[in-house]
Amino acid sequence: MQNRREFILRSSLAVAAGALGSTPLFGQQAPAAAPQPPTVPVFTPIRRNVGTFTARGGTMGWLVTPDAVLVIDSQFADTAQMFLDGLKTRTPRKIDLLLNTHHHPDHTGGNKVLRPMVTKIVSHENVPGLQKKQAAAAKTEDAQAYADETFKDGWKVDIGKEKVSAKYYGPGHTSGDAVFLFQQANIVHMGDLMSHQRHPRVGEIADRQLAEQHLIGARQVHVVVVVETCEGEEPPSRGQQRNGNRGADHEHSITGHGSRRV
């Protein structure tokens, strides 16, 4: 029969052994992290030959017709190749226009991959400089392709029986965000200026004035999204208008709170 001292000693050794059994010792490798799920490229048609492409990074937009191909943003190099592979099953045409909403690498990282298939790259005038500065900091200059044509306030083109326009509303998510509108399809691509039912993308705003400019721009874009209609089409429903107003109110409350903090 063991005495109290022996019982405490044996119990302590058992606890220590259990702890060592569940804790990696010095020199042992920690368990490998679970592998990331494979990236799945998805082409989603919306209407009038316009759709989206999702894989990894910012959502890309596309217009594919027998007469023209237009693409918005390029994600990363690997997913841009996925996009090209999928695009080739939809059209034999090259890409007439590649439009960049802003300079961030999940929106321009695939520019160089698409470049051999692209006739012209277009962006706001601030984007090339911001993209070059970003690339220099990341030492990825050799992986870049920059805009051939830029604009200051607005830009437009008639392409493939569609009218595509661009508008710069001022500093927002970055100082070079462009909003692209497919006028006939009544579809707008906003890059990272707006996320569905999420906080507005105002992480780079540095002061109250810029926060207010972002809010003004966001409200103007809400007007485009909610009110803009095409000839012969019905105006937005009351539900659509309420959703647009709710988004604008959310934008105002979050941006106002953030502007008081900075």
Contact 210, 226 (CB under 8 A): no
180 phi and psi angles, rounded to 5 deg: -110, 130
**Residues near 222 by Cβ (< 8 Å), separated by ≥ 6?**
244, 245, 247, 248, 251
Note the pTM of the prediction, 2 decimals: 0.71
Instruction: Give the angle subtended at the CA of 110 by the CAs of 162 and 114, to the nearest 5°.
Output: 60
- Quote the tokens at residue 221: 């874009």
One-letter-per-residue 3-state SS of 25-40: CCCCCCCCCCCCCCCC
Partners of 187 in the β-ladder: 182
* Residues 236 and 229 sit within 8 Å (Cβ to Cβ): yes
Mean pLDDT in consecutive groups of 10 residues from the start of the chain, 262 residues: 56 50 52 82 95 93 97 97 97 98 96 98 98 97 98 96 94 90 92 67 50 54 38 39 47 49 42
Question: What class does CATH assign to 40-193?
Answer: alpha beta
Amino acid at 247: G
Domain-by-domain residue ranges, the chain? 40-193, 197-262
